[in-house]
Chain A
Protein backbone atom coordinates (compact mmCIF):
# COMPACT_ATOMS: atom_id res chain seq x y z
CA UNK A 1 0.00 0.00 0.00
CA UNK A 2 2.60 2.42 1.17
CA UNK A 3 5.06 1.15 -1.38
CA UNK A 4 2.72 1.67 -4.25
CA UNK A 5 2.06 5.22 -3.12
CA UNK A 6 5.78 5.95 -3.24
CA UNK A 7 5.98 4.34 -6.65
CA UNK A 8 3.17 6.48 -7.88
CA UNK A 9 4.88 9.59 -6.63
CA UNK A 10 8.16 8.58 -8.22
CA UNK A 11 6.40 7.85 -11.48
CA UNK A 12 4.97 11.31 -11.39
CA UNK A 13 8.34 12.78 -10.63
CA UNK A 14 9.83 10.81 -13.45
CA UNK A 15 7.26 12.16 -15.86
CA UNK A 16 7.87 15.67 -14.68
CA UNK A 17 11.61 15.19 -15.02
CA UNK A 18 11.23 13.93 -18.54
CA UNK A 19 8.94 16.71 -19.43
CA UNK A 20 11.17 19.41 -18.01
CA UNK A 21 13.99 18.43 -20.30
CA UNK A 22 11.70 19.10 -23.21
CA UNK A 23 10.15 22.19 -21.77
CA UNK A 24 13.28 24.14 -20.87
CA UNK A 25 13.88 25.50 -24.34
CA UNK A 26 10.25 26.39 -24.88
CA UNK A 27 10.18 28.29 -21.60
CA UNK A 28 13.39 30.00 -22.56
CA UNK A 29 11.91 31.25 -25.83
CA UNK A 30 8.82 32.49 -24.01
CA UNK A 31 10.96 34.20 -21.42
CA UNK A 32 12.89 35.96 -24.14
CA UNK A 33 9.58 37.15 -25.57
CA UNK A 34 8.81 38.75 -22.19
CA UNK A 35 6.62 36.08 -20.57
CA UNK A 36 6.83 36.55 -16.80
CA UNK A 37 5.23 33.16 -16.14
CA UNK A 38 7.93 31.36 -18.08
CA UNK A 39 10.52 33.24 -16.06
CA UNK A 40 8.88 32.27 -12.78
CA UNK A 41 8.58 28.64 -13.83
CA UNK A 42 12.25 28.42 -14.74
CA UNK A 43 13.15 30.17 -11.53
CA UNK A 44 11.20 27.75 -9.39
CA UNK A 45 12.54 24.80 -11.32
CA UNK A 46 16.22 25.63 -10.94
CA UNK A 47 16.54 27.90 -7.95
CA UNK A 48 17.34 25.23 -5.37
CA UNK A 49 19.69 23.37 -7.74
CA UNK A 50 21.64 26.56 -8.27
CA UNK A 51 21.69 27.38 -4.56
CA UNK A 52 23.12 23.94 -3.84
CA UNK A 53 25.74 24.31 -6.55
CA UNK A 54 26.65 27.80 -5.37
CA UNK A 55 26.89 26.69 -1.76
CA UNK A 56 29.51 24.12 -2.78
CA UNK A 57 31.91 26.98 -3.40
CA UNK A 58 31.27 29.30 -0.53
CA UNK A 59 29.94 28.64 2.93
CA UNK A 60 28.04 31.94 2.98
CA UNK A 61 24.58 30.95 1.84
CA UNK A 62 23.27 34.49 1.91
CA UNK A 63 25.82 35.55 -0.67
CA UNK A 64 24.91 32.56 -2.79
CA UNK A 65 21.23 33.48 -2.70
CA UNK A 66 22.09 37.01 -3.77
CA UNK A 67 24.24 35.64 -6.53
CA UNK A 68 21.60 33.31 -7.95
CA UNK A 69 18.93 36.01 -7.75
CA UNK A 70 21.23 38.44 -9.53
CA UNK A 71 21.79 35.88 -12.27
CA UNK A 72 18.02 35.66 -12.82
CA UNK A 73 17.68 39.45 -12.60
CA UNK A 74 20.21 39.92 -15.36
CA UNK A 75 18.60 37.23 -17.48
CA UNK A 76 15.29 39.09 -17.35
CA UNK A 77 16.73 42.55 -17.92
CA UNK A 78 19.01 41.54 -20.75
CA UNK A 79 16.63 38.95 -22.19
CA UNK A 80 16.72 40.59 -25.60
CA UNK A 81 20.41 39.91 -26.05
CA UNK A 82 20.33 36.28 -24.88
CA UNK A 83 21.04 33.44 -27.28
CA UNK A 84 18.06 31.37 -28.48
CA UNK A 85 19.82 28.05 -28.39
CA UNK A 86 21.15 27.28 -24.96
CA UNK A 87 20.97 24.27 -22.70
CA UNK A 88 19.17 26.17 -19.97
CA UNK A 89 20.43 24.12 -17.05
CA UNK A 90 24.06 24.26 -18.15
CA UNK A 91 23.73 27.95 -18.91
CA UNK A 92 22.33 28.73 -15.46
CA UNK A 93 24.96 26.66 -13.68
CA UNK A 94 27.64 28.39 -15.69
CA UNK A 95 26.25 31.86 -14.89
CA UNK A 96 26.14 31.14 -11.17
CA UNK A 97 29.67 29.79 -11.16
CA UNK A 98 31.06 32.77 -13.08
CA UNK A 99 29.35 35.19 -10.75
CA UNK A 100 30.73 33.48 -7.66
CA UNK A 101 34.22 33.46 -9.16
CA UNK A 102 33.95 37.19 -9.85
CA UNK A 103 32.65 37.87 -6.34
CA UNK A 104 35.40 35.86 -4.67
CA UNK A 105 38.08 37.48 -6.78
CA UNK A 106 36.76 40.87 -5.77
CA UNK A 107 36.74 39.87 -2.11
CA UNK A 108 40.26 38.56 -2.42
CA UNK A 109 41.44 41.81 -3.97
CA UNK A 110 39.86 43.70 -1.10
CA UNK A 111 41.32 41.35 1.49
CA UNK A 112 44.71 41.64 -0.24
CA UNK A 113 45.00 37.88 -0.32
CA UNK A 114 47.90 36.65 -2.40
CA UNK A 115 46.29 34.03 -4.61
CA UNK A 116 43.42 34.77 -6.95
CA UNK A 117 42.94 31.12 -7.87
CA UNK A 118 39.82 29.63 -9.29
CA UNK A 119 37.22 28.77 -6.71
CA UNK A 120 37.28 25.34 -5.08
CA UNK A 121 34.41 22.88 -5.15
CA UNK A 122 33.95 21.97 -1.49
CA UNK A 123 30.97 19.68 -1.87
CA UNK A 124 30.99 16.18 -0.33
CA UNK A 125 29.09 13.25 -1.76
CA UNK A 126 27.14 11.22 0.77
CA UNK A 127 25.99 7.60 0.89
CA UNK A 128 22.56 6.41 -0.17
CA UNK A 129 21.94 4.52 3.10
CA UNK A 130 18.28 3.78 2.49
CA UNK A 131 18.97 1.70 -0.58
CA UNK A 132 21.59 -0.49 1.08
CA UNK A 133 20.40 -3.62 2.80
CA UNK A 134 23.48 -5.76 3.39
CA UNK A 135 26.67 -5.03 5.30
CA UNK A 136 29.09 -6.04 2.56
CA UNK A 137 27.56 -3.54 0.15
CA UNK A 138 27.55 -0.91 2.88
CA UNK A 139 31.27 -1.46 3.48
CA UNK A 140 32.10 -1.22 -0.19
CA UNK A 141 29.98 1.85 -0.74
CA UNK A 142 31.41 3.62 2.29
CA UNK A 143 34.94 2.94 1.05
CA UNK A 144 34.08 4.18 -2.41
CA UNK A 145 32.46 7.28 -0.94
CA UNK A 146 35.60 8.08 1.04
CA UNK A 147 37.77 7.71 -2.06
CA UNK A 148 35.39 9.95 -4.01
CA UNK A 149 35.46 12.71 -1.45
CA UNK A 150 39.24 12.99 -1.33
CA UNK A 151 39.48 13.61 -5.09
CA UNK A 152 40.85 16.98 -6.23
CA UNK A 153 38.13 19.65 -6.20
CA UNK A 154 37.95 20.04 -9.97
CA UNK A 155 37.65 16.30 -10.61
CA UNK A 156 34.88 16.13 -8.04
CA UNK A 157 33.09 19.04 -9.64
CA UNK A 158 33.33 17.41 -13.06
CA UNK A 159 31.84 14.19 -11.66
CA UNK A 160 29.07 16.16 -9.94
CA UNK A 161 28.13 17.98 -13.13
CA UNK A 162 28.34 14.84 -15.25
CA UNK A 163 26.56 12.28 -13.10
CA UNK A 164 24.30 14.38 -10.91
CA UNK A 165 23.19 17.08 -13.34
CA UNK A 166 23.65 14.88 -16.40
CA UNK A 167 25.55 17.51 -18.36
CA UNK A 168 27.53 16.59 -21.46
CA UNK A 169 31.31 16.85 -21.55
CA UNK A 170 30.96 19.90 -23.83
CA UNK A 171 28.77 21.67 -21.33
CA UNK A 172 31.12 20.81 -18.46
CA UNK A 173 34.05 22.16 -20.44
CA UNK A 174 32.17 25.43 -20.96
CA UNK A 175 31.30 25.74 -17.28
CA UNK A 176 34.83 24.98 -16.07
CA UNK A 177 36.22 27.28 -18.77
CA UNK A 178 38.49 24.63 -20.33
CA UNK A 179 38.47 22.86 -23.71
CA UNK A 180 36.71 19.59 -24.40
CA UNK A 181 39.85 17.49 -24.11
CA UNK A 182 40.71 18.90 -20.69
CA UNK A 183 37.21 18.30 -19.38
CA UNK A 184 37.31 14.75 -20.71
CA UNK A 185 40.69 14.17 -19.10
CA UNK A 186 39.39 15.53 -15.83
CA UNK A 187 36.53 12.99 -15.77
CA UNK A 188 38.75 10.15 -16.94
CA UNK A 189 41.42 10.87 -14.36
CA UNK A 190 38.78 11.02 -11.63
CA UNK A 191 37.50 7.57 -12.54
CA UNK A 192 40.99 6.06 -12.85
CA UNK A 193 41.94 7.51 -9.48
CA UNK A 194 38.87 6.13 -7.79
CA UNK A 195 39.32 2.67 -9.27
CA UNK A 196 42.94 2.48 -8.23
CA UNK A 197 42.28 3.65 -4.69
CA UNK A 198 39.13 1.69 -4.27
CA UNK A 199 40.61 -1.61 -5.48
CA UNK A 200 43.35 -1.22 -2.90
CA UNK A 201 41.07 -0.58 0.02
CA UNK A 202 38.60 -3.11 -1.22
CA UNK A 203 41.14 -5.92 -1.12
CA UNK A 204 42.13 -4.83 2.35
CA UNK A 205 38.52 -4.83 3.41
CA UNK A 206 37.94 -8.34 2.09
CA UNK A 207 41.03 -9.56 3.88
CA UNK A 208 39.89 -8.03 7.10
CA UNK A 209 36.41 -9.46 6.74
CA UNK A 210 37.62 -13.00 5.95
CA UNK A 211 40.05 -12.84 8.83
CA UNK A 212 37.34 -11.71 11.19
CA UNK A 213 35.02 -14.47 10.07
Chain B
Protein backbone atom coordinates (compact mmCIF):
# COMPACT_ATOMS: atom_id res chain seq x y z
CA UNK B 1 0.00 0.00 0.00
CA UNK B 2 2.76 2.42 0.92
CA UNK B 3 4.84 1.37 -2.05
CA UNK B 4 1.87 1.99 -4.30
CA UNK B 5 1.33 5.45 -2.86
CA UNK B 6 4.99 6.25 -3.28
CA UNK B 7 4.92 5.11 -6.86
CA UNK B 8 1.90 7.30 -7.54
CA UNK B 9 3.59 10.29 -5.94
CA UNK B 10 6.68 9.80 -8.04
CA UNK B 11 4.57 9.46 -11.12
CA UNK B 12 2.80 12.75 -10.56
CA UNK B 13 6.14 14.55 -10.55
CA UNK B 14 6.24 13.82 -14.28
CA UNK B 15 2.87 15.49 -14.97
CA UNK B 16 3.30 18.22 -17.57
CA UNK B 17 -0.12 18.46 -19.20
CA UNK B 18 -3.60 19.10 -17.92
CA UNK B 19 -4.75 15.73 -19.21
CA UNK B 20 -2.26 14.01 -16.92
CA UNK B 21 -4.09 15.50 -13.97
CA UNK B 22 -7.53 14.89 -15.40
CA UNK B 23 -6.74 11.19 -15.82
CA UNK B 24 -5.56 10.84 -12.21
CA UNK B 25 -8.37 9.46 -10.11
CA UNK B 26 -6.88 10.65 -6.87
CA UNK B 27 -6.57 14.18 -8.25
CA UNK B 28 -10.17 14.16 -9.45
CA UNK B 29 -11.31 13.04 -6.04
CA UNK B 30 -9.38 15.85 -4.36
CA UNK B 31 -10.86 18.45 -6.68
CA UNK B 32 -14.40 17.28 -6.45
CA UNK B 33 -14.68 16.36 -2.82
CA UNK B 34 -11.78 18.34 -1.36
CA UNK B 35 -10.68 15.05 0.10
CA UNK B 36 -6.91 15.16 -0.05
CA UNK B 37 -5.75 11.60 0.61
CA UNK B 38 -2.47 11.78 -1.24
CA UNK B 39 -1.36 15.20 -0.06
CA UNK B 40 -2.04 17.04 -3.28
CA UNK B 41 -2.21 20.43 -1.64
CA UNK B 42 1.25 20.15 -0.17
CA UNK B 43 2.61 18.79 -3.45
CA UNK B 44 1.11 21.66 -5.39
CA UNK B 45 2.52 24.32 -3.19
CA UNK B 46 6.03 22.90 -3.62
CA UNK B 47 6.30 24.40 -7.09
CA UNK B 48 4.72 27.53 -8.62
CA UNK B 49 4.57 25.89 -12.08
CA UNK B 50 2.64 23.02 -10.64
CA UNK B 51 0.21 25.43 -9.01
CA UNK B 52 -0.59 26.95 -12.38
CA UNK B 53 -1.25 23.59 -13.99
CA UNK B 54 -3.31 22.39 -11.05
CA UNK B 55 -5.34 25.60 -11.15
CA UNK B 56 -6.16 25.09 -14.79
CA UNK B 57 -6.91 21.41 -14.36
CA UNK B 58 -9.32 22.42 -11.63
CA UNK B 59 -11.21 24.68 -14.04
CA UNK B 60 -11.50 21.79 -16.49
CA UNK B 61 -12.89 19.46 -13.89
CA UNK B 62 -15.36 22.07 -12.68
CA UNK B 63 -16.61 22.49 -16.23
CA UNK B 64 -16.96 18.77 -16.82
CA UNK B 65 -19.44 17.90 -14.14
CA UNK B 66 -21.47 14.81 -14.76
CA UNK B 67 -24.66 14.94 -12.72
CA UNK B 68 -24.99 12.31 -10.05
CA UNK B 69 -27.24 9.51 -11.13
CA UNK B 70 -30.65 10.19 -9.71
CA UNK B 71 -31.85 6.62 -9.35
CA UNK B 72 -33.09 5.75 -5.91
CA UNK B 73 -32.24 2.58 -4.06
CA UNK B 74 -35.80 1.46 -4.67
CA UNK B 75 -35.59 1.93 -8.42
CA UNK B 76 -32.40 -0.10 -8.60
CA UNK B 77 -33.96 -2.86 -6.51
CA UNK B 78 -37.01 -2.98 -8.75
CA UNK B 79 -34.77 -3.15 -11.80
CA UNK B 80 -32.82 -6.01 -10.23
CA UNK B 81 -36.01 -7.91 -9.50
CA UNK B 82 -37.17 -7.30 -13.02
CA UNK B 83 -33.89 -8.64 -14.37
CA UNK B 84 -34.19 -11.85 -12.33
CA UNK B 85 -37.64 -12.32 -13.82
CA UNK B 86 -36.25 -11.85 -17.30
CA UNK B 87 -33.55 -14.39 -16.55
CA UNK B 88 -36.12 -16.93 -15.36
CA UNK B 89 -38.19 -16.41 -18.49
CA UNK B 90 -35.20 -16.81 -20.76
CA UNK B 91 -33.97 -19.91 -18.94
CA UNK B 92 -37.38 -21.51 -19.37
CA UNK B 93 -37.32 -20.76 -23.07
CA UNK B 94 -33.90 -22.31 -23.33
CA UNK B 95 -35.03 -25.39 -21.46
CA UNK B 96 -37.94 -25.79 -23.88
CA UNK B 97 -35.52 -25.53 -26.76
CA UNK B 98 -33.23 -28.11 -25.25
CA UNK B 99 -36.17 -30.44 -24.62
CA UNK B 100 -37.14 -30.19 -28.26
CA UNK B 101 -33.57 -30.95 -29.29
CA UNK B 102 -33.52 -33.90 -26.87
CA UNK B 103 -36.80 -35.15 -28.26
CA UNK B 104 -35.38 -34.98 -31.73
CA UNK B 105 -32.32 -36.87 -30.56
CA UNK B 106 -34.34 -39.79 -29.22
CA UNK B 107 -34.54 -42.62 -31.74
CA UNK B 108 -38.24 -43.39 -31.47
CA UNK B 109 -39.18 -39.84 -32.33
CA UNK B 110 -36.97 -39.93 -35.39
CA UNK B 111 -38.47 -43.24 -36.40
CA UNK B 112 -41.98 -41.87 -36.22
CA UNK B 113 -40.95 -38.80 -38.19
CA UNK B 114 -39.28 -40.99 -40.80
CA UNK B 115 -42.37 -43.18 -41.12
CA UNK B 116 -44.57 -40.11 -41.50
CA UNK B 117 -42.34 -38.64 -44.18
CA UNK B 118 -42.17 -41.97 -45.98
CA UNK B 119 -45.95 -42.33 -45.82
CA UNK B 120 -46.60 -38.87 -47.22
CA UNK B 121 -44.05 -39.45 -49.94
CA UNK B 122 -45.67 -42.73 -50.96
CA UNK B 123 -49.09 -41.12 -51.19
CA UNK B 124 -47.65 -38.36 -53.31
CA UNK B 125 -45.82 -40.75 -55.62
CA UNK B 126 -48.90 -42.93 -55.95
CA UNK B 127 -51.14 -40.00 -56.84
CA UNK B 128 -48.77 -38.54 -59.36
CA UNK B 129 -47.27 -41.61 -60.96
CA UNK B 130 -49.41 -44.71 -60.61
CA UNK B 131 -52.71 -42.89 -60.78
CA UNK B 132 -51.49 -41.15 -63.90
CA UNK B 133 -50.52 -44.39 -65.51
CA UNK B 134 -53.92 -45.73 -64.79
CA UNK B 135 -55.59 -42.79 -66.51
CA UNK B 136 -53.27 -42.73 -69.43
CA UNK B 137 -54.05 -46.38 -70.03
CA UNK B 138 -57.53 -45.33 -71.15
CA UNK B 139 -56.00 -43.82 -74.22
CA UNK B 140 -53.62 -46.74 -74.72
CA UNK B 141 -56.33 -49.29 -74.15
CA UNK B 142 -58.71 -47.70 -76.60
CA UNK B 143 -56.06 -47.24 -79.24
CA UNK B 144 -54.74 -50.78 -78.82
CA UNK B 145 -58.16 -52.39 -78.84
CA UNK B 146 -59.43 -50.87 -82.05
CA UNK B 147 -59.65 -53.08 -85.05
CA UNK B 148 -58.28 -50.38 -87.25
CA UNK B 149 -54.70 -50.75 -88.20
CA UNK B 150 -52.31 -48.20 -89.60
CA UNK B 151 -53.18 -45.57 -87.01
CA UNK B 152 -51.06 -42.44 -87.11
CA UNK B 153 -50.19 -40.73 -83.88
CA UNK B 154 -49.39 -37.07 -83.50
CA UNK B 155 -47.94 -35.88 -80.19
CA UNK B 156 -47.64 -32.18 -79.47
CA UNK B 157 -44.66 -31.68 -77.13
CA UNK B 158 -44.14 -28.07 -78.17
CA UNK B 159 -45.68 -25.09 -76.39
CA UNK B 160 -47.81 -24.00 -79.38
CA UNK B 161 -50.94 -25.62 -80.85
CA UNK B 162 -50.40 -27.82 -83.90
CA UNK B 163 -52.72 -28.21 -86.86
CA UNK B 164 -53.56 -31.70 -88.14
CA UNK B 165 -55.47 -32.21 -91.37
CA UNK B 166 -57.37 -35.47 -91.59
CA UNK B 167 -58.02 -37.43 -94.81
CA UNK B 168 -61.66 -36.29 -94.96
CA UNK B 169 -60.70 -32.62 -94.94
CA UNK B 170 -61.45 -32.09 -91.23
CA UNK B 171 -58.90 -30.13 -89.22
CA UNK B 172 -57.81 -30.63 -85.65
CA UNK B 173 -55.95 -28.00 -83.63
CA UNK B 174 -53.98 -30.07 -81.13
CA UNK B 175 -53.01 -28.19 -77.94
CA UNK B 176 -49.63 -28.65 -76.20
CA UNK B 177 -49.10 -31.83 -74.13
CA UNK B 178 -51.80 -33.65 -76.10
CA UNK B 179 -51.82 -36.51 -78.56
CA UNK B 180 -54.20 -37.68 -81.24
CA UNK B 181 -54.38 -41.06 -83.01
CA UNK B 182 -56.17 -41.21 -86.33
CA UNK B 183 -56.24 -43.48 -89.41
CA UNK B 184 -54.41 -42.37 -92.48
CA UNK B 185 -57.60 -42.87 -94.49
CA UNK B 186 -61.07 -43.22 -92.98
CA UNK B 187 -62.52 -46.56 -94.09
CA UNK B 188 -65.98 -48.01 -93.40
CA UNK B 189 -68.93 -45.89 -92.41
CA UNK B 190 -67.46 -44.32 -89.24
CA UNK B 191 -64.70 -41.87 -88.64
CA UNK B 192 -62.88 -42.61 -85.35
CA UNK B 193 -60.11 -40.61 -83.71
CA UNK B 194 -58.57 -40.99 -80.25
CA UNK B 195 -57.56 -38.08 -78.10
CA UNK B 196 -55.59 -37.61 -74.92
CA UNK B 197 -55.39 -33.97 -73.92
CA UNK B 198 -57.09 -31.05 -75.57
CA UNK B 199 -58.02 -30.28 -79.17
CA UNK B 200 -60.35 -28.10 -81.20
CA UNK B 201 -62.12 -30.04 -83.95
CA UNK B 202 -63.60 -28.67 -87.17
CA UNK B 203 -65.30 -31.53 -88.91
CA UNK B 204 -66.21 -31.60 -92.59
CA UNK B 205 -69.88 -32.41 -93.07
CA UNK B 206 -70.69 -36.00 -94.05
CA UNK B 207 -74.01 -37.34 -92.64
CA UNK B 208 -73.27 -40.81 -93.96
CA UNK B 209 -70.04 -41.10 -92.09
CA UNK B 210 -70.42 -39.87 -88.49
CA UNK B 211 -67.31 -38.68 -86.70
CA UNK B 212 -66.36 -40.06 -83.24
CA UNK B 213 -63.86 -38.62 -80.81
CA UNK B 214 -62.81 -41.09 -78.12
CA UNK B 215 -61.40 -39.26 -75.16
CA UNK B 216 -60.86 -40.94 -71.80
CA UNK B 217 -64.24 -42.15 -70.59
CA UNK B 218 -66.38 -40.40 -73.14
CA UNK B 219 -67.18 -40.67 -76.82
CA UNK B 220 -68.30 -37.63 -78.77
CA UNK B 221 -70.32 -38.17 -81.92
CA UNK B 222 -70.69 -35.48 -84.54
CA UNK B 223 -71.89 -35.05 -88.03
CA UNK B 224 -70.40 -31.75 -89.01
CA UNK B 225 -69.46 -29.05 -86.59
CA UNK B 226 -66.68 -27.45 -84.57
CA UNK B 227 -66.07 -28.20 -80.93
CA UNK B 228 -63.40 -28.60 -78.35
CA UNK B 229 -62.57 -31.68 -76.31
CA UNK B 230 -60.44 -31.39 -73.20
CA UNK B 231 -59.45 -34.76 -71.75
CA UNK B 232 -56.09 -34.68 -70.05
CA UNK B 233 -55.09 -37.91 -68.38
CA UNK B 234 -53.86 -36.01 -65.34
CA UNK B 235 -56.93 -33.80 -64.84
CA UNK B 236 -59.98 -34.83 -62.95
CA UNK B 237 -62.53 -33.43 -65.42
CA UNK B 238 -63.19 -34.08 -69.09
CA UNK B 239 -64.81 -31.23 -71.03
CA UNK B 240 -66.56 -30.93 -74.37
CA UNK B 241 -67.41 -27.44 -75.63
CA UNK B 242 -69.50 -26.93 -78.76
CA UNK B 243 -69.08 -23.92 -81.01
CA UNK B 244 -71.23 -24.71 -84.00
CA UNK B 245 -73.44 -27.59 -85.07
CA UNK B 246 -74.69 -30.44 -82.92
CA UNK B 247 -72.81 -32.99 -80.85
CA UNK B 248 -73.84 -36.14 -78.99
CA UNK B 249 -71.77 -37.34 -76.07
CA UNK B 250 -71.78 -40.93 -74.92
CA UNK B 251 -69.99 -42.63 -72.14
CA UNK B 252 -67.24 -45.03 -72.94
CA UNK B 253 -68.78 -48.45 -73.48
CA UNK B 254 -67.07 -49.89 -70.46
CA UNK B 255 -68.78 -47.64 -67.99
CA UNK B 256 -72.18 -49.26 -67.80
CA UNK B 257 -73.00 -47.77 -64.47
CA UNK B 258 -73.48 -44.29 -65.88
CA UNK B 259 -76.92 -42.93 -65.23
CA UNK B 260 -77.21 -40.86 -68.38
CA UNK B 261 -76.57 -42.58 -71.66
CA UNK B 262 -76.42 -39.82 -74.19
CA UNK B 263 -76.32 -36.06 -74.00
CA UNK B 264 -77.00 -33.72 -76.89
CA UNK B 265 -75.09 -30.47 -77.01
CA UNK B 266 -75.93 -27.42 -79.10
CA UNK B 267 -73.72 -24.39 -79.94
CA UNK B 268 -72.32 -22.60 -76.89
CA UNK B 269 -73.24 -25.55 -74.73
CA UNK B 270 -70.76 -27.73 -72.97
CA UNK B 271 -70.36 -30.75 -70.81
CA UNK B 272 -68.17 -31.61 -67.91
CA UNK B 273 -67.52 -35.21 -66.97
CA UNK B 274 -66.34 -35.61 -63.40
CA UNK B 275 -64.12 -38.64 -63.40
CA UNK B 276 -64.18 -39.17 -59.66
CA UNK B 277 -67.89 -39.93 -59.38
CA UNK B 278 -68.42 -40.73 -63.09
CA UNK B 279 -71.15 -38.15 -63.67
CA UNK B 280 -72.00 -35.84 -66.54
CA UNK B 281 -72.69 -32.22 -65.90
CA UNK B 282 -74.24 -30.22 -68.71
CA UNK B 283 -73.26 -26.58 -69.09
CA UNK B 284 -76.05 -24.71 -70.83
CA UNK B 285 -74.07 -21.54 -71.52
CA UNK B 286 -70.30 -21.80 -71.69
CA UNK B 287 -69.92 -18.02 -71.73
CA UNK B 288 -71.36 -17.92 -68.21
CA UNK B 289 -69.13 -20.64 -66.80
CA UNK B 290 -66.09 -18.85 -65.46
CA UNK B 291 -63.57 -21.67 -65.48
CA UNK B 292 -64.41 -22.47 -69.07
CA UNK B 293 -64.72 -19.01 -70.53
CA UNK B 294 -61.31 -18.24 -69.06
CA UNK B 295 -59.77 -21.21 -70.82
CA UNK B 296 -61.34 -20.62 -74.21
CA UNK B 297 -58.61 -20.39 -76.78
CA UNK B 298 -58.23 -17.74 -79.42
CA UNK B 299 -59.71 -19.82 -82.22
CA UNK B 300 -63.14 -19.74 -80.61
CA UNK B 301 -62.92 -16.01 -80.06
CA UNK B 302 -61.91 -15.12 -83.58
CA UNK B 303 -64.59 -14.31 -86.12
CA UNK B 304 -64.38 -15.81 -89.57
CA UNK B 305 -67.09 -13.59 -91.02
CA UNK B 306 -65.33 -11.29 -93.49
CA UNK B 307 -66.91 -8.36 -95.31
CA UNK B 308 -64.73 -6.63 -97.91
CA UNK B 309 -61.55 -7.46 -96.02
CA UNK B 310 -58.04 -7.52 -97.61
CA UNK B 311 -56.84 -11.06 -98.25
CA UNK B 312 -53.66 -10.39 -96.27
CA UNK B 313 -55.74 -9.71 -93.19
CA UNK B 314 -57.78 -12.88 -93.63
CA UNK B 315 -54.56 -14.88 -93.85
CA UNK B 316 -53.37 -13.20 -90.70
CA UNK B 317 -56.52 -14.28 -88.87
CA UNK B 318 -56.02 -17.86 -90.01
CA UNK B 319 -52.37 -17.81 -88.99
CA UNK B 320 -53.40 -16.68 -85.54
CA UNK B 321 -56.21 -19.20 -85.17
CA UNK B 322 -54.36 -22.32 -86.31
CA UNK B 323 -50.77 -21.42 -85.40
CA UNK B 324 -49.69 -21.84 -89.00
CA UNK B 325 -47.56 -19.76 -91.33
CA UNK B 326 -49.03 -18.67 -94.62
CA UNK B 327 -46.76 -17.66 -97.47
CA UNK B 328 -48.54 -15.73 -100.23
CA UNK B 329 -47.57 -13.39 -103.10
CA UNK B 330 -48.11 -10.07 -101.34
CA UNK B 331 -47.62 -7.92 -104.41
CA UNK B 332 -50.20 -9.73 -106.52
CA UNK B 333 -52.81 -10.00 -103.77
CA UNK B 334 -52.34 -6.46 -102.47
CA UNK B 335 -55.60 -5.13 -103.84
CA UNK B 336 -57.74 -8.23 -103.27
CA UNK B 337 -60.68 -7.86 -100.93
CA UNK B 338 -63.05 -10.69 -100.03
CA UNK B 339 -66.50 -11.03 -98.52
CA UNK B 340 -66.99 -14.53 -97.21
CA UNK B 341 -68.13 -16.62 -94.24
CA UNK B 342 -65.56 -19.18 -93.18
CA UNK B 343 -66.99 -20.12 -89.79
CA UNK B 344 -67.74 -23.78 -89.24
CA UNK B 345 -65.29 -24.86 -91.94
CA UNK B 346 -62.20 -26.97 -91.40
CA UNK B 347 -58.92 -25.35 -92.32
CA UNK B 348 -58.51 -27.05 -95.75
CA UNK B 349 -62.08 -26.00 -96.60
CA UNK B 350 -61.34 -22.41 -95.55
CA UNK B 351 -58.27 -22.32 -97.76
CA UNK B 352 -60.14 -23.85 -100.67
CA UNK B 353 -62.90 -21.24 -100.41
CA UNK B 354 -60.40 -18.39 -100.27
CA UNK B 355 -58.51 -19.67 -103.31
CA UNK B 356 -61.75 -20.08 -105.22
CA UNK B 357 -62.83 -16.54 -104.30
CA UNK B 358 -59.54 -15.08 -105.46
CA UNK B 359 -59.92 -16.97 -108.74
CA UNK B 360 -57.34 -17.02 -111.52
CA UNK B 361 -56.55 -20.70 -110.78
CA UNK B 362 -55.20 -19.90 -107.36
CA UNK B 363 -54.27 -22.90 -105.22
CA UNK B 364 -52.62 -23.83 -101.93
CA UNK B 365 -50.23 -26.44 -100.65
CA UNK B 366 -49.92 -27.48 -97.00
CA UNK B 367 -46.91 -29.02 -95.38
CA UNK B 368 -47.24 -29.33 -91.62
CA UNK B 369 -47.60 -25.83 -90.24
CA UNK B 370 -46.45 -24.26 -93.49
CA UNK B 371 -49.07 -23.17 -96.02
CA UNK B 372 -48.16 -21.71 -99.40
CA UNK B 373 -50.65 -19.85 -101.58
CA UNK B 374 -50.00 -19.82 -105.32
CA UNK B 375 -51.75 -16.97 -107.10
CA UNK B 376 -51.30 -14.46 -109.88
CA UNK B 377 -53.69 -11.91 -108.36
CA UNK B 378 -57.45 -11.66 -108.16
CA UNK B 379 -60.11 -11.02 -110.76
Contact = CB atoms under 8 A, between A and B. Distances in A.
Contacts of A125: 63-66
Contacts of A69: 79, 82-83, 86
A144 B60 contact: yes
Contacts of B308: none
A124 to B, nearest CB: 9
Nearest to B31: A131
Interface in A19-69: 40, 43-44, 47-49, 51-52, 65, 68-69
Nearest to A165: B66
A162 interface: yes
Contacts of A126: 65-67
Interface string A150-166: 00000000011011101
Contacts of A7: 35
B96 interface: no
A163 B63 contact: no
B274 to A, nearest CB: 51
Contact of B71 (A51, A127, A148): A51
Contacts of B25: 166
A191 B19 contact: yes
A18 to B, nearest CB: 9
A77 B86 CA distance: 10
A40 B76 contact: no
Contact of B35 (A10, A76, A123, A145): A10
Interface stretch (B87-95, B139-147, B330-338): B87-95
Given A10-B35, A49-B69, A73-B83, A164 B23 contact: no
B79 A140 contact: no
Nearest to A50: B69
A141 interface: yes
Interface in B45-60: 59-60
Contacts of B61: 128, 163
A65 B65 CA distance: 23
B152 interface: no
Given A144-B59, A144-B63, A191 B18 contact: yes
B86 A70 contact: yes
Contact of A131 (B32, B37, B87): B32
A10 B59 contact: no
B33 interface: yes
B184 to A, nearest CB: 69
Interface residues of B, number: 35
A140 B55 CA distance: 12
B22 interface: yes
Contact of A48 (B19, B23, B32, B76): B76
Contacts of B83: 43, 69, 72-73
A7 B94 CA distance: 50
A73 B80 contact: no
Report which residue of B31, B63, B67 has the largest number of chain A beta carbons within 10 angstroms of its beta carbon: B63
A14 interface: yes
A141 B59 contact: yes
B272 interface: no
B62 interface: yes
B223 to A, nearest CB: 68
A38 B68 CA distance: 24
Given A47-B79, A49-B69, A164-B64, A73 B86 contact: yes
Contacts of A43: 76, 79-80, 83
Contacts of B185: none
A47 B76 contact: yes
A137 interface: yes
A48 B80 CA distance: 11
A205 B71 CA distance: 38
Nearest to A166: B25
Contacts of B90: 73, 77
Interface in B286-307: none
A72 B66 CA distance: 24
Report which residue of B31, B60, B66, B82 has the largest number of chain A beta carbons within 10 angstroms of its beta carbon: B66
A11 B67 CA distance: 20
A160 B22 CA distance: 11
Contacts of A70: 86
A13 B65 CA distance: 18
A166 B23 contact: yes
Contacts of A166: 23, 25, 28
A148 B86 contact: no
Given A14-B37, A47-B71, A131 B91 contact: no
Nearest to A146: B63
26 contacts: A7-B35, A14-B35, A14-B37, A43-B79, A47-B79, A47-B80, A49-B69, A51-B69, A72-B83, A73-B83, A73-B86, A77-B91, A125-B63, A125-B64, A126-B65, A126-B66, A126-B67, A127-B63, A128-B65, A141-B63, A144-B60, A160-B66, A162-B23, A163-B61, A163-B64, A164-B64
Interface of B: 18-19, 22-23, 25, 28-29, 31-35, 37, 59-67, 69, 71, 76-77, 79-80, 82-83, 86-87, 90-91, 94
Name the 4 nearest CB pairs between A and B, nearest first: A48-B69, A144-B63, A145-B63, A48-B71
